[in-house]
Amino acid sequence: MAAPAAKRRRAARPAEAVAAQLPVARVVVDLGLPHLDRPFDYLVPESMADDAVVGARVSVRFAGADHNGFIIERAAESDHTGKLARLRRVVSAEPVLTPEVARLARAVADRYAGTLADVLRLAIPQRHATTERKPSPEPLAPPAAPAPGAWADHVDGPALLASLAAGGTPRAVWNPGPAADWPDLIARMIAATLAGSRGALVVLPDGRDVARVEAALVALVGDGRHVALEADAGPARRYARWLAVRRGSVGAVVGTRAAAFAPVHRLGLVCIWDDGDDLHAEPRAPYPHAREVLLLRAHQTGAAAVVGGFARTAEAELLLSTGWARPLTPDRATVRKLAPLVRTTGDDRELARDEAARSARLPSLAWRAARDGLSRGPVLVQVPRAGYLPSVACGRCRSPARCRACAGPLRLGQADEPPRCRWCGSAYPHWRCAECGYAALRAMAVGVGRTAEELGRAFAGATVLMSRGEAVRSSVGSEPALVVATPGAEPLADGGYAAAVLLDGTALLTRPSLRAGEEALRRWLRAAALVRPGPDGGSIVVVAEPSAPAVQAFVRWDPAGFATRELDERAALHLPPAARVAEITGADADVDDLLAQARLPDAAEVLGPAPVDDGVRVVVRAPRASGTALAAALRAAAGVRSARRSGGSVRVRIDPVDLG
């Protein structure tokens, strides 16, 4: 049977000529499969020659389906010996993937045993066509170099600003003192970098911190020289701001973790604040940490780098011990002048006065501190746990209360609500213990809601305010009030808090986590920075064992000493950051298959498997010098399994922050 005329005409139509200059486009195709983690060559039709620029979004045909991708290079010829397919279309001629960000994304993928396509999903925002057609504003002239301000209280602080303004590349681990106006100090670093006609990039844990730095920067140099990149801005506004950075309209970026990939022109400074906050760890593959992304970027571009926070992580201490960075701190006289008075509830004198202080949740010292503080202003009460009673057990035999449907833990959301499963949400209005039949529950852990309720009864007539994950207050006034907050949700107080009580410190310190002590100290120092200096009456009570190293470091305001000790202990135990660790999670057979395919470094040590909720977990530990080889081996093994299409998925995380 003869073919239809239309089909014959299509077959006879000659193929469109390819571009005369650089007819080959190398494309990173959005596939996400480890065995296809490389660029592919496509021919550029003549009609697309002008739009198919390096960095442009394109659509290509791959394995019988259309996929999006980015052009990373135009070339005169291809190494591929077969016939090349043509680009299907240029989605946008806007060069959104800059060569610098492409190199960074490749390095991040290699560091975390991931694929380039996965990293580019984190680095490049979704396109908003209407926004893309709008012009970005013209860039403003560089501002004048700022005055040192409170940097004058830091050893080498003025020198840091002078170096940034002069085009230098200092590298520092920065720990400001108590009550420091850290947003203003960051704003001055940004302003100094802009004054030297270079770009600055600052990454912060959350939108509240971004807003504070933004306000300080606008007060210092005015608006129009920076943008804020964070998820709450919405896709159109965020893309418009991102384009303003890519087009060079603004020189500074302040944002949350995804901003670490922002295409800042002439990058002169990268800075991360509070790098121990787990919000800096990306929850999507390949799970990079913003600090490591910024440090890779500083290494590749030669930019200055500052890792800051009231606390100091073991990773930051490693930068100092290797000589990569220098410490940047106030002198001890300034620290002593600004630090609030810190007391613990478990010292010998307090135990002699209050025998129940060791076991009481609100010992008499904490009660007295809150009462005295209320006579002078607001009092902060930090509670580590959210919710009301997040963990409950049988009131008689102490067996944990669990769901009959899924075996998940039960919790109480309010005093007048039935217990519910934290996993599946099943309610148990007539709960009885499966072990002994008893019908009453007891609290195994107390959350912020129950704490606020208890304090309201203990301090009759006092105003009790709550600030927690679903309802965070940005600030409170100077009038007396008990402000009960979870870590990271503490509001700013007008004039500072008169006192603070930090509850459940022992529970923080005994969590089954590599970073338990480090995280406890970080939370305490950040809360303490909101309290008035000791000479102004500011005081803090921490309910924790006073002999714990983190408690002692807190009393002395000595994050550096604690970080040194922490790094030494981790080195002795061959744990991150002194070693590299890969956590591999999946079904037992799939994890075994991945490890069988992996050519691990000779010095690598395999620990496990251990059962977890979704299968098993294996930890592979290797010396830091073998970290690159470890990631490459796991990435190659994942590629073999991907090519074979064998088994289920396996999650690989390099140096996870929540290793327990």
Domain positions in the chain: 17-97, 149-334, 340-387+447-556, 574-654
412: pLDDT confidence band, cut at 50, 70 and 90? confident
Residue 210, SS3? helix
Report the percentage of the chain scoring pLDDT > 70: 95
Which one, of 177, 180, 256, lies nearest residue 214 by Cα? 256
Q: CA-CA distances (angstroms) from residue 477 to 459, 467, 482, 497?
A: 19, 14, 11, 10
Which pLDDT tens digit goes with each residue over 369-378?
A: 999 999 999 9
For residue 245, the surrounding DSSP H or E stretch is helix 235-246
Q: What are the helix and strand counts (H, E) for the chain?
A: 20, 28
Which CATH architecture describes the domain 574-654? 2-Layer Sandwich (3.30)
pLDDT of 353 higher than 70: no
pLDDT, position 474: 92
Which CATH architecture describes the domain 340-387+447-556? 3-Layer(aba) Sandwich (3.40)
Q: Which residues face 542 on adjacent strands?
A: 344, 502
pLDDT, position 361: 61
Would 149-334 and 340-387+447-556 be classified into the same CATH topology? yes
Which of 196-210, 307-321, 446-460 bottoms out in mean pLDDT, i.e. has the lowest? Answer: 446-460
Which pLDDT tens digit goes with each residue over 77-86?
A: 999 888 999 9
Q: For domain 149-334, is the CATH number 3.40.50.150?
A: no
DSSP letter (8 states) at residue 625 = G
Instruction: Determine the straight-line distance between the first and last CA of the chain, rounded to whole angstroms.
Output: 70
Beta strand 605-612 pairing with 615-623:
antiparallel
Residue 382, SS3? strand
Which pLDDT tens digit goes with each residue over 628-644?
A: 999 999 999 999 999 99
Angle at 43 between CA 37 and CA 47, to 5 degrees: 130
Residue 550 has which token pair? 């983190």
Instruction: Quickly tell me which residue has 């009393």 as its tokens.
Output: 555
358: pLDDT confidence band, cut at 50, 70 and 90? very low
Is the separation of the CB atoms in 254 and 260 below 8 Å? Answer: no
> What is the spatial distance between Cα 368 and Cα 213, in angstroms, rounded to a whole number?
35
Which pLDDT tens digit goes with each residue over 232-285?
A: 778 899 999 999 999 999 999 999 999 999 999 999 999 999 999 999 999 999
DSSP states along 539-563: EEEE-S-TTSHHHHHHHHT-HHHHH
Burial of 183 (0-12, 13-18, 19+ CB in 10 A): buried
Which pLDDT tens digit goes with each residue over 475-513?
A: 999 999 999 999 999 999 999 999 999 998 888 888 878
